[in-house]
Amino acid sequence: MEPLAMDGGSKAISLDQDELLQWPKMGVEEERAVLELLRNGEISQSEIGKTLAAEFKQFIGAKHALPKVNGTACLLSAFFALGIGKGDEVIAPTNTYWATVMPAAFLGAKIVFCESDPTTLCIDPADIRKKVTEKTKAIVPVHIYGYPCEMDEISEIAEERGGIPIIEDASHAHGAEYKGSKVGTLGTCAIFSLQGSKVIPAGEAGILVTNDIDIHERAMALGHYEMLQDLDRDAFKKYRRTGLGLKHRISPLHAAIALCQLRKFPEINGRITRNCETFLNGIEEIEGTGFEIPPRPSYIKRTYFMNQVLYREGAGIIPREDLTFLLGSEGLRVGQSRYEMLHKQPYFLERGYSASDLQFTDDLCGRLVSFPNFPWDESGELVQQYIHGIEKVAYHTRDDFT
Ligand SMILES: Cc1ncc(COP(=O)(O)O)c(C=O)c1O
Supply the DSSP string of 215-264, one letter for each residue: HHHHHHHHH-GGGGGG-SSHHHHTTTTTTTS---BPPHHHHHHHHHHHHH
pLDDT band at 287 (very low <50, low <70, confident <90, very high): confident
Q: What is the mean pLDDT of residues 165-186?
A: 98
Q: Which atom of ligand 1 is nearest to the CA of 195?
A: 10
Q: How far is the CA of 139 from the centre of ligand 1 (A)?
A: 17
Position with higher pLDDT, 288 vs 396: 396
Question: For the segment 1-31, what is each residue's pLDDT rounded down to a tens digit?
Answer: 899 999 999 999 999 999 999 999 999 999 9
Q: What is the mean pLDDT of residues 163-170?
A: 98
pLDDT band at 226 (very low <50, low <70, confident <90, very high): very high
Task: Give yes or no for a contact between 106 and 85, defined as CB atoms under 8 angstroms apart.
Answer: no
Q: How far is the CA of 197 from the centre of ligand 1 (A)?
A: 10
Nearest to 69 by CA among 226, 202, 249: 249
| Residue percentage of the chain with pLDDT more than 70 | 98
Q: Which atom of ligand 1 is nearest to the CA of 96?
A: 1
Which residues are 375's β-sheet partners?
Answer: none
Position with higher pLDDT, 97 vs 290: 97
pLDDT band at 402 (very low <50, low <70, confident <90, very high): very low
Q: How far is the CA of 352 from the centre of ligand 1 (A)?
A: 25
Per-residue DSSP letters for 69-107? S-HHHHHHHHHHHTT--TT-EEEEESSS-GGGTHHHHHT
pLDDT band at 288 (very low <50, low <70, confident <90, very high): confident
Q: Which atom of ligand 1 is nearest to the CA of 193?
A: 10
Residue nearest to atom 16 of ligand 1 (CA): 97
Q: What is the mean pLDDT of residues 307-326?
A: 86
The C-alpha atoms of residue 111 and residue 91 are separated, in whole angstroms, by 6
Q: Is 371 helix (H, G, I), strand (E, B) or coil?
A: strand
pLDDT at 315 over 80: no
Q: How far is the CA of 171 from the centre of ligand 1 (A)?
A: 6
pLDDT band at 313 (very low <50, low <70, confident <90, very high): confident
The C-alpha atoms of residue 260 and residue 269 are separated, in whole angstroms, by 14
| Residue percentage of the chain with pLDDT more than 90 | 94
pLDDT at 71 over 90: yes
> Within its chain, how far is the Cα of 140 from the centroid?
13
The C-alpha atoms of residue 195 and residue 215 are separated, in whole angstroms, by 23
* Residue 350: C-alpha distances to residues 87, 90, 108, 341 (Å): 18, 18, 15, 15
Check residue 6 and give its pLDDT: 94
Most ligand 1 atoms within 8 A of CB, residue of 23, 72, 111 to mutate = 72
Most ligand 1 atoms within 8 A of CB, residue of 149, 168, 193, 338 to mutate = 193
Q: Which atom of ligand 1 is nearest to the CA of 206?
A: 10
The C-alpha atoms of residue 390 and residue 378 are separated, in whole angstroms, by 21
Lining residues, ligand 1, CB within 6 Å: 70-72, 96-97, 99-100, 142, 169, 171-172, 193, 195, 206
Q: What is the mean pLDDT of residues 204-210?
A: 98
Check residue 343 and give its pLDDT: 98
pLDDT at 400 over 90: no
Q: What is the mean pLDDT of residues 89-116?
A: 98
Residues 6+ apart with CB under 8 A from 150: 117, 120, 122, 125
DSSP at 43: S
Q: How far is the CA of 205 from the centre of ligand 1 (A)?
A: 10
Residue nearest to atom 13 of ligand 1 (CA): 193
Residue 264 CB: number of other CB atoms within 10 A?
15
Check residue 92 and give its pLDDT: 99
Convert 148-169 to b/e letters by CB count within 10 Å (16 or more is b): bbbbeebbebbeeeeebbbbbb
Q: How far is the CA of 198 from the centre of ligand 1 (A)?
A: 9
Mean pLDDT lowest for which of 248-257, 268-277, 348-357, 389-398?
A: 389-398
- Strands 291-292 and 64-68 turn out to be unpaired
Q: Which atom of ligand 1 is nearest to the CA of 72?
A: 11
Check residue 398 and give its pLDDT: 76
Nearest to 66 by CA among 164, 238, 188, 205: 205
The average confidence (pLDDT) of the chain is 96
Nearest to 172 by CA among 58, 41, 49, 272: 272
Burial class (CB in 10 A: 0-12, 13-18, 19+), 147: buried
Helix pair angle (381-396, 252-284), 10° resolution:
40
Give the total residue count for the chain: 402
Classify the C-alpha dihedral 261-267-271-277 as positive or negative.
positive
**Edge-to-edge order in the sheet of strand 181-182:** 181-182, 177-178, 300-301
pLDDT band at 312 (very low <50, low <70, confident <90, very high): confident
pLDDT at 269 over 50: yes
The C-alpha atoms of residue 273 and residue 267 are separated, in whole angstroms, by 10
**Domains defined for the chain, CATH in brackets:** 5-24+265-400 (3.90.1150.10), 28-260 (3.40.640.10)
The C-alpha atoms of residue 321 and residue 338 are separated, in whole angstroms, by 16
Task: Give yes or no for a contact between 60 and 209, defined as CB atoms under 8 angstroms apart.
Answer: yes
pLDDT band at 338 (very low <50, low <70, confident <90, very high): confident
Q: Which atom of ligand 1 is nearest to the CA of 73?
A: 11
Q: Which atom of ligand 1 is nearest to the CA of 99?
A: 4
Q: How far is the CA of 162 from the centre of ligand 1 (A)?
A: 29
Residues 6+ apart with CB under 8 A from 311: 290, 291, 292, 320, 323, 367, 368, 369
Residue nearest to atom 3 of ligand 1 (CA): 100
Q: What is the mean pLDDT of residues 131-144?
A: 98
Most ligand 1 atoms within 8 A of CB, residue of 97, 102, 204, 308 to mutate = 97
pLDDT band at 271 (very low <50, low <70, confident <90, very high): very high
The C-alpha atoms of residue 220 and residue 217 are separated, in whole angstroms, by 5
Peptide bond into 24 cis (omega under 30): yes
